[in-house]
């Protein structure tokens, strides 16, 4: 229980720092968003009026207090350009991003876990080296470049998949996923690199344990040792990294969504950045960082449930 409270307190502190950073980040920016919003025709008086309306004329600490007060009531502010609350804009854009991230994690796991296991089991073999090499290659390819190449090959050349977009509104889930196939492949393939490395490392850790030697010594078939003893124990860290990958992927979709012109959160934030729509940038950064912190916390708590040793160590 003490461990639980300590972890939650830590996560809260991190969230507060995140909020301060997000706030400072957008307020230190140059360029007046009000001048941008009102256009060339606006007079100085108009701009001053708009600044008062959005609370931009108050001193920074006051602005921060105002902002946090609204946040605690679930209000992320009003987009300057979209004429709607930031929370609403985010919700409208959440679906493609969420589906894309989950789809991509599924692909990454389906490739990464078996490959990582194979690399660990046949450690030092040609297969292991080839897989490690592939993993490194995956970490060296720019996602947008790979997206462009896949579009060129699978969409333009072969015509198997749509090159961009998320289909017409009202289409079924199948059609949606079909539109997400190429972007999910990009993110999944590139992120499987991390999963391969991680699976291999945690399998190797477990392979060195005494109980594996014992299992072998008592004559269990190698297959049983691998599945029941090694994989089961290695699964905890592997699930952790899958969780973290999901969290990271939600932010990692920014570039991919732009390449494939998907109407997701990434697309929203890129446009907001280009137009200096501060409330949208703030809201998105905050929500994504919040999700990351939350997933991290959940993983830590799950860990203690699965493995009581961790609870004992920290108290």
- Would you tell me which residues interact with other proteins (CB under 8 A)? 10, 13-15, 17-18, 21, 25-26, 28-30, 133, 136-137, 139-145, 148-149, 151-152, 156, 248, 250-252, 254-255, 258-259, 269-270, 273-274, 276, 281, 284-285, 288-289, 292-293, 296
Min CB(174)–other proteins separation in Å: 28
Which string of DSSP letters, residue by residue, matches 162-173?
-SS---STT--H
Min CB(189)–other proteins separation in Å: 13
Residue with Cβ nearer other proteins (141 or 181): 141
Min CB(13)–other proteins separation in Å: 5
Residue with Cβ nearer other proteins (155 or 220): 155
Please classify residue 1 by burial: count the beta carbons closer than 10 Å to its beta carbon, then call 0-12 exposed, 13-18 middle and 19+ buried.
Answer: exposed
Residue with Cβ nearer other proteins (62 or 139): 139
How far is it, in rounded angstroms, from Cα 64 to Cα 60? Answer: 6
How far is it, in rounded angstroms, from Cα 115 to Cα 219? Answer: 26
Which residues neighbour 197 within 8 Å (Cβ) at sequence distance 6 or greater?
A: 116, 132, 135
Min CB(217)–other proteins separation in Å: 27
How far is it, in rounded angstroms, from Cα 95 to Cα 46? Answer: 37
Residue with Cβ nearer other proteins (105 or 226): 105
Residue with Cβ nearer other proteins (26 or 175): 26
How far is it, in rounded angstroms, from Cα 218 to Cα 246? Answer: 40
Min CB(299)–other proteins separation in Å: 13
How far is it, in rounded angstroms, from Cα 73 to Cα 204? Answer: 48
> SS3 of 85, please?
strand
Q: Angle 147-284-60 (CA atoms, 0-180°, nearest 5)?
A: 140
Taking alpha carbons only, the member of 69, 80, 140, 34 closest to residue 272 is: 80
Residue with Cβ nearer other proteins (28 or 45): 28
Min CB(270)–other proteins separation in Å: 6
How far is it, in rounded angstroms, from Cα 276 to Cα 168? Answer: 29
Quote the tokens at residue 112: 């990464």
Task: Say which DSSP state 307 is in.
Answer: -
Min CB(122)–other proteins separation in Å: 18
| 253 neighbors 266 (Cβ within 8 angstroms) | yes
Residue with Cβ nearer other proteins (166 or 292): 292
């Amino acid at each position: 229980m003490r461990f639980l409270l300590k972890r939650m307190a830590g996560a809260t502190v991190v969230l507060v720092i995140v909020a301060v950073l997000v706030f400072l980040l957008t307020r230190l920016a140059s360029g007046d968003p009000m001048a941008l919003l009102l256009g060339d025709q606006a007079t100085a008086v108009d701009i001053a009026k708009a600044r008062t309306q959005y609370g931009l004329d108050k001193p920074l600490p006051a602005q921060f207090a105002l902002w946090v007060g609204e946040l605690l009531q679930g209000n992320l502010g009003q987009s300057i350009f979209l004429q709607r609350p930031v929370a609403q804009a985010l919700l409208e854009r959440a679906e493609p991003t969420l589906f894309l991230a989950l789809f991509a994690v599924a692909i990454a796991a389906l490739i990464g876990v078996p490959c990582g296991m194979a690399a660990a089991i046949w450690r030092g073999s040609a297969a292991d080296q080839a897989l490690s090499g592939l993993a490194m290659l995956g970490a060296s390819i720019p996602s947008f470049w790979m997206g462009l190449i896949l579009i060129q090959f699978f969409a333009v050349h072969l015509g198997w998949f749509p090159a961009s977009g998320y289909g017409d509104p009202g289409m079924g889930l199948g059609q949606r996923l079909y539109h997400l196939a190429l972007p999910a492949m990009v993110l999944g393939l590139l992120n499987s690199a991390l999963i391969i490395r991680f699976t291999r490392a945690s399998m190797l850790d477990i392979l060195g344990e005494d109980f594996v030697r014992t299992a072998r010594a008592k004559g269990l078939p190698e297959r049983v040792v691998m599945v029941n003893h090694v994989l089961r124990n290695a699964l905890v860290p592997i699930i952790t990294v899958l969780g973290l990958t999901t969290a990271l992927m939600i932010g990692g979709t920014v570039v991919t969504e732009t390449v494939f012109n998907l109407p997701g959160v990434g697309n929203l934030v890129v446009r907001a950045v280009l137009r200096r729509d501060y409330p949208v940038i703030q809201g998105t950064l905050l929500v994504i960082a919040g999700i990351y912190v939350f997933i991290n916390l959940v993983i830590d708590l799950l860990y203690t449930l699965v493995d009581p040793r961790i609870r004992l160590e920290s108290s």
